[in-house]
């Protein structure tokens, strides 16, 4: 198959893939390359050899094989027996060759000189970075420096970056963009189970009879996982899919039941499902009695009060479907139907992403999903689980596991814990007391400190915060004023059209180009606790270093050479394995060789001989639990389930009430604005906007309106409109799908439409920054911003 460049063949390309998907029983799901097919850059090319890699886009973590000829990638196919994707790949994964071999790749370090950049040598630019870092620490202390990393770096790169900042320089101001993404999932795990990361895995999909998808657009954002779900349903007619989302998305279009609630009312919706499950006795009382405590905890991390089952029943009484129908905008009979499907199915699996996490009450929303599974005992069994889907390839591995947030250290250790600090200091060969006991700034407060001038040195690697932070008007000046190092694969080019602008790089004082994923190799840790090795496939453009080499080089130049004597990422991984040994996320048994051989390994994996742990908290499958039992630390009952994250071995059901979002519509701003993604583009678009057929398919941002809201404003499809919030305004074209009714069967392919009262704008377009409009209010527990909800008005230009 040839990868098309013009829009005509792009159309036939999509059709081709669509047809193949239909043959797989996937209906009108487009955007996936089926197993067994290969993409060639041009017809007639034959690769010299093939290399195995793991896709660096989403947190699905698909295995792929790259065909190489003359040092270039010329073909891509799915890794056939890879357990995650079994040979299937999506559009983004396939577009790799256009990004890696783009003529616009950054190949020289640059140093700012007033309004323009001068090309600099590595020696000069790394010298400047090291000097400046040293001066800042000695003048203002370690709290005046900060490092902001993207969760698309390899685990080894995070490990070295943490060693440099938290270990050697004594600054815990290390954050990752996963704060904007997975932080509420983390606090959800920590409160309910006591430990981060999920009990179940993707394999549960193949055993599930009911899927509850809430606040996730899998068909566009995790297409390979959605394909796996559709395949399950195609093979088993009793399987049902429920989609709860304020928009009719391509995901919802495939649903058996769509629940179109108003943004921010999903806690009420899920509590109402809980009410029905309770009232109609879908409860697994013996599971609850054995494994669950019920907690009333209205406050943030405040004191918790244990209550009895009756108190939970009474709490849910306020959420009878009839009582919350008006507030949520969902018909009571639909909520009942959803609860029946959830409760009646032999096995039920929930999946969610940013619709629940990027919220003022994101942690609570995560808790409430777990409530439904704990109440019905539909967890820790094949096909029954609640799986928080990860956004980026290494938000689990590099960020959460390797400790790349300002309050944590590698392997689920805490900055505040003296014993944990001492362990890391010993492992890193540092003096006792090198790591500061004070957590650093979380992302939004970090950029606030930049704005206030308290942070004097900011280093951004593999992220584009000047486009992707919320409420941007508040933070851009700070980023322009601070001394900022930007490390990216695409440069600041001020002569380009807006569509290719790099909003962060263009504010840099020093720009460092880095090698791309397939040019360096390393490990990603995906949604399901799977660590996978992606091999180096091709050489980087001449002179480029891997991100970890840049961090190590700066460490050496600052006078800490003995701590950064690495010659390969393999060495770094082996040091990191030791840091995890004996912990609940034991990776000691996960070697480079084993990851390649098996297609990734799921932790806990305490020994080189052990296969890893597909399901957690289940004696039969969880190697950490087996160790605890062997050592006489815990005793497990007949069903083998034990939630060892909490001292009493029980998970918690929390009584979480519905609360309003930060901003709700009013007379002046009568509509909800929600933001997110399209299948064609990755985040800030630096990579996918450079793929001709993706850029042509969706060249610019748009605002999606329901036909009823468009009609009352005299807006028709394609009109230029202005969207206004309390923080800013944006002019863009309107997308008004022609739909007279909103039923799943009425929607085809990629079209989506919000429910009445809601509009949607994607954030990929550097020329139309929707983040001038969004709010920067954060969840009080996770500190994740509420990108998903604010109030706006829309007017014709």
Smallest distance, Å, CB 276 to ligand MGD? 19
Q: Using DSSP, how many helices (H) and how many strands (E) does the chain show?
A: 25, 34
Please give the Cα distance from 185 to 175 (Å, whole number): 16
The pairing of strands 257-259 and 671-676 is: unpaired
Using CB distances below 5 to 8 A depending on partner kind, what does residue 93 bind out of ligand SF4, Mo ion, ligand MGD, none? ligand SF4
Q: Which stretch binds ligand SF4 (CB under 6 A): 51-59, 267-275, 295-303, 487-495?
A: 51-59
Please give the Cα distance from 606 to 603 (Å, whole number): 8
Q: Within 50-89, which residues bind ligand MGD (CB under 6 A)?
A: 58
Using CB distances below 5 to 8 A depending on partner kind, what does residue 676 bind out of ligand MGD, Mo ion, ligand SF4, none? ligand MGD
Smallest distance, Å, CB 379 to ligand SF4? 25
For ligand MGD, which is the closer residue by CB, 78 or 465?
465
Q: What x/- string results for residues 249 through 278 when contact with Mo ion is judged by CB under 5 A?
A: ------------------------------
What do you get for the CA distance between the two ends of the chain, in Å?
Answer: 44
Count of residues engaged in binding ligand SF4, rule: CB under 6 A? 14
Retrieve residue 134's tokens.
């040293």
Smallest distance, Å, CB 394 to Mo ion? 11
Select the residue interacting with ligand SF4 from 3, 66, 76, 90 (CB under 6 A). Answer: 90
- Cis peptide bond upstream of 165, omega within 30: no
Instruction: Give yes or no for residue 785 binding Mo ion (CB under 5 A).
Output: no
Q: Which stretch binds Mo ion (CB under 5 A): 177-185, 239-247, 309-317, 339-347?
A: 177-185
Smallest distance, Å, CB 580 to ligand MGD? 23
Smallest distance, Å, CB 706 to ligand MGD? 12
Instruction: Give yes or no for residue 492 binding ligand MGD (CB under 6 A).
Output: no
Q: State the DSSP H helix or E strand holding residue 488, giving kind and residue range, or none if neither.
A: strand 483-488
Select the residue interacting with ligand MGD from 267, 372, 427, 461 (CB under 6 A). Answer: 461
Strand, coil or helix: 681: coil
For ligand SF4, which is the closer residue by CB, 38 or 496?
38
> What φ, ψ does residue 454 adopt, rounded to 5°?
-80, -30
**H-type alpha helices, 532-633:** 547-557, 569-580, 592-598, 623-630
Residue that has been written with the tokens 């190092």 in this structure: 485
Q: Is 171 exposed, middle or buried (0-12, 13-18, 19+ CB in 10 A)?
A: buried
Instruction: Give yes or no for residue 392 binding ligand SF4 (CB under 6 A).
Output: no
Using CB distances below 5 to 8 A depending on partner kind, what does residue 55 bind out of Mo ion, ligand SF4, ligand MGD, none? ligand SF4
Using CB distances below 5 to 8 A depending on partner kind, what does residue 75 bind out of Mo ion, ligand SF4, ligand MGD, none? none
For ligand SF4, which is the closer residue by CB, 96 or 550?
96
Q: What is the four-CA torsion angle of 189, 193, 194, 200, rounded to 10 degrees?
A: -70
Smallest distance, Å, CB 632 to ligand MGD? 41
Give whole-number Cα distances, 176 to 316, 396, 465, in Å: 37, 11, 10
Select the residue interacting with ligand SF4 from 62, 106, 698, 730 (CB under 6 A). Answer: 62
Q: What x/- string results for residues 210 through 249 when contact with ligand SF4 is judged by CB under 6 A?
A: ------------xxx-------------------------
Q: What x/- string results for residues 129 through 168 when contact with Mo ion is judged by CB under 5 A?
A: ----------------------------------------
Q: State the DSSP H helix or E strand holding residue 279, giving kind and residue range, or none if neither.
A: helix 266-279
Retrieve residue 603's tokens.
């932790």
Instruction: Give yes or no for residue 471 binding ligand MGD (CB under 6 A).
Output: no
Q: What x/- string results for residues 67 through 86 when contact with ligand SF4 is judged by CB under 6 A?
A: ------------------x-
Select the residue interacting with ligand MGD from 145, 161, 181, 694 (CB under 6 A). Answer: 181
Smallest distance, Å, CB 499 to ligand SF4? 21
The string of DSSP letters for 124-135 reads HHHHHHHHHHHH
Select the residue interacting with Mo ion from 110, 137, 145, 181 (CB under 5 A). Answer: 181
Please give the Cα distance from 568 to 522 (Å, whole number): 10
Retrieve residue 407's tokens.
């309050």
Smallest distance, Å, CB 61 to Mo ion? 14
Q: Within 376-395, which residues bind ligand MGD (CB under 6 A)?
A: 391-392
Of all residues in the shown chain, the one whose CB is closest to ligand SF4 is 93
Q: Which letter, b or e, does each residue of 75-109 get, where b requires 16 or more Cβ atoms within 10 Å of its Cβ?
A: bbbbbeebbbbbbbbbbbbbbbbbbbbeeebbebb
Give whole-number Cα distances, 689 to 36, 92, 150, 681, in Å: 28, 11, 19, 7
Instruction: Give yes or no for residue 698 binding ligand SF4 (CB under 6 A).
Output: no
Check if the beta carbon of residue 778 is closer than 8 Å to that of residue 771. no
Check if the beta carbon of residue 657 is closer than 8 Å to that of residue 744. no
For ligand MGD, which is the closer residue by CB, 599 or 785?
785
Instruction: Give yes or no for residue 464 binding ligand MGD (CB under 6 A).
Output: yes
For ligand MGD, which is the closer residue by CB, 155 or 463?
463
Q: Which stretch binds ligand SF4 (CB under 6 A): 56-64, 355-363, 477-485, 488-496?
A: 56-64
Please give the Cα distance from 171 to 733 (Å, whole number): 45
For ligand MGD, which is the closer residue by CB, 463 or 580?
463
| Residue 257 bridge partners (DSSP) | 242
Instruction: Give yes or no for residue 506 binding ligand MGD (CB under 6 A).
Output: no
For Mo ion, which is the closer residue by CB, 391 or 614?
391
Smallest distance, Å, CB 178 to ligand SF4? 16
Q: Within 254-273, which residues bind ligand MGD (CB under 6 A)?
A: 263-264, 266
What 639-647 contacts at long range (C-beta under 8 Å, 24+ apart), as own/partner pairs, is 639/287, 639/290, 641/287, 641/290, 641/291, 641/380, 641/617, 642/291, 642/617, 643/193, 643/194, 643/291, 643/617, 644/194, 644/195, 644/584, 644/617, 645/193, 645/194, 645/195, 645/584, 646/193, 646/194, 646/293
Instruction: Give yes or no for residue 702 binding ligand MGD (CB under 6 A).
Output: no
Strand, coil or helix: 713: coil
Q: State the DSSP H helix or E strand holding residue 295, giving kind and residue range, or none if neither.
A: strand 292-296
The string of DSSP letters for 756-795 reads TTEEEEES--TTS-GGGTS---B-TTT--B-TT-EEEEEE
Q: What is the four-CA torsion angle of 133, 136, 142, 145, rounded to 10 degrees?
A: -60
Please give the Cα distance from 102 to 350 (Å, whole number): 39
Q: Which stretch binds ligand MGD (CB under 6 A): 125-133, 192-200, 576-584, 672-680?
A: 672-680
Please give the Cα distance from 124 to 116 (Å, whole number): 17
Select the residue interacting with ligand MGD from 354, 386, 518, 537 (CB under 6 A). Answer: 354
Smallest distance, Å, CB 353 to Mo ion? 8
For ligand MGD, which is the closer residue by CB, 245 or 284?
245
Q: Within 768-797, which residues bind ligand MGD (CB under 6 A)?
A: 770-771, 774, 787-789
Listed residue (701, 720, 719) closest to 760, CA to CA:
701
Instruction: Give yes or no for residue 391 binding Mo ion (CB under 5 A).
Output: yes
Instruction: Give yes or no for residue 93 binding ligand SF4 (CB under 6 A).
Output: yes
Residues of this chain that interact with ligand MGD (CB under 6 A) are 58, 92, 150, 152, 177, 180-181, 214-217, 220-222, 245-247, 249, 263-264, 266, 353-356, 358, 391-392, 461-465, 468, 487-490, 514, 516-517, 547, 674-677, 679, 681-684, 686-687, 763, 770-771, 774, 787-789
Binding site for ligand SF4 (CB under 6 A): 55, 57-58, 60-62, 85, 89-90, 92-93, 222-224
Q: Which residues bind Mo ion (CB under 5 A)?
A: 181, 391
């Amino acid at each position: 198959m040839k990868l098309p460049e013009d829009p005509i063949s792009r159309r036939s390309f999509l059709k081709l893939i669509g047809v193949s998907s239909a043959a797989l029983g996937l209906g009108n799901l487009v955007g996936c390359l089926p197993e067994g097919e290969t993409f060639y850059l041009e017809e007639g090319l034959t690769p010299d050899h093939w290399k195995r890699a793991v896709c660096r886009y989403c947190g699905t973590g698909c295995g792929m094989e790259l065909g190489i000829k003359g040092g270039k990638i010329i073909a891509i196919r799915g890794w056939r027996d890879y357990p995650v994707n079994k040979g299937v790949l999506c559009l983004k994964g396939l577009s790799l060759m256009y990004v890696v071999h783009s003529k616009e790749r950054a190949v020289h370090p640059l140093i700012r000189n007033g309004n323009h950049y001068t090309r600099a040598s590595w020696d000069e630019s790394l010298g400047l970075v090291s000097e400046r870092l040293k001066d800042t620490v000695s003048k203002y202390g370690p709290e005046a420096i900060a490092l902001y990393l993207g969760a698309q770096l390899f685990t080894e790169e995070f490990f070295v970056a943490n060693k440099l900042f938290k270990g050697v320089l004594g600054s815990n101001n290390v954050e990752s963009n996963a704060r904007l993404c997975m932080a509420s999932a983390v606090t959800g795990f920590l409160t309910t189970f006591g430990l981060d990361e999920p009990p179940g895995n993707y394999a549960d999909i193949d055993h599930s009879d009911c899927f509850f998808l809430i606040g996730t657009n899998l068909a566009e954002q995790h297409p390979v996982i959605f394909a796996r779900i559709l395949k399950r349903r195609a093979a088993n007619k009793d399987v049902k899919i429920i989609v709860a989302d304020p928009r009719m998305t391509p995901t919802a279009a495939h649903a058996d039941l769509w629940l179109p609630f108003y943004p921010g009312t999903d806690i009420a919706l899920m509590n109402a499902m809980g009410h029905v499950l309770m009232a109609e006795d879908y409860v697994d009382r013996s599971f609850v009695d054995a494994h669950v405590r019920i907690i009333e905890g209205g406050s943030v991390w405040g004191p918790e009060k244990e209550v009895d089952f009756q108190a939970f029943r009474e709490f849910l009484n306020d959420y009878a479907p009839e009582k919350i129908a008006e507030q949520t905008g969902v018909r009571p009979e639909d909520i009942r139907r959803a609860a029946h499907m959830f409760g009646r199915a032999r096995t039920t699996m929930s999946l969610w992403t940013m619709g629940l996490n990027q919220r003022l009450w994101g942690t609570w929303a995560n808790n409430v999903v777990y409530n439904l599974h704990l109440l019905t005992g539909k967890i820790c069994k094949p096909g029954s689980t609640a799986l928080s889907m990860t956004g980026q390839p290494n938000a689990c591995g590099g960020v959460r596991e390797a400790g790349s947030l300002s309050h944590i250290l590698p392997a689920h250790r805490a900055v505040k814990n003296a014993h944990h600090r001492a362990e890391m200091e010993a492992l890193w060969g540092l003096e006792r007391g090198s790591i500061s006991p004070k957590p650093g700034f979380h992302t939004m407060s970090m950029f606030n400190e930049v704005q206030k001038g308290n942070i004097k040195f900011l280093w951004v690697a593999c992220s584009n915060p000047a486009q992707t932070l919320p409420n941007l008007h508040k933070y851009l000046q700070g980023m322009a004023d601070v001394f900022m190092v930007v490390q990216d694969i695409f440069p600041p080019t001020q002569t380009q059209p807006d569509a290719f602008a790099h909003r962060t790089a263009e504010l840099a004082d020093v720009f460092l180009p880095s090698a791309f994923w397939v040019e360096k190799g390393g490990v990603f840790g995906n949604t399901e606790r799977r660590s996978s090795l992606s091999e180096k496939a091709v050489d980087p453009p001449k002179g480029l270093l891997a991100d970890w080499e840049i961090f190590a080089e700066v460490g050496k130049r600052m006078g800490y050479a003995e701590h950064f004597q690495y010659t390969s990422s393999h060495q770094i991984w082996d040091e990191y394995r030791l840091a995890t040994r004996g912990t609940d996320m034991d990776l000691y048994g996960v070697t480079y060789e084993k990851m390649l051989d098996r297609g990734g390994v799921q932790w806990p994996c305490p020994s080189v001989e052990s296969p890893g742990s597909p399901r957690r908290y289940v004696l039969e499958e969880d190697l950490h639990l087996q160790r605890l039992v062997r050592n006489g630390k815990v005793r497990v009952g007949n069903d083998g389930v034990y939630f060892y994250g909490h001292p009493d071995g029980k998970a918690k059901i929390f009584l979480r009430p519905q609360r309003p979002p930060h901003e709700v519509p009013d007379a002046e701003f009568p509509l909800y604005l929600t933001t997110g993604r399209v299948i064609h583009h990755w985040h800030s678009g630096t990579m996918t906007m450079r793929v001709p057929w993706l850029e042509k398919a969706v060249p610019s941002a748009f605002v999606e309106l329901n036909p009823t809201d468009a009609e009352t404003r005299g807006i028709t499809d394609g009109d230029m409109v202005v969207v206004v919030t309390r923080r800013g305004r944006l002019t863009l074209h309107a997308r008004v799908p022609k739909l007279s009714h909103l039923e799943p069967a009425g929607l085809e392919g990629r079209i989506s439409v919000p429910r009445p009262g809601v509009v949607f704008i994607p954030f990929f377009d550097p020329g139309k920054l929707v983040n001038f409009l969004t709010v920067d209010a954060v969840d009080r527990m996770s500190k994740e911003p509420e990108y998903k909800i604010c109030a706006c008005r829309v007017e014709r230009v």
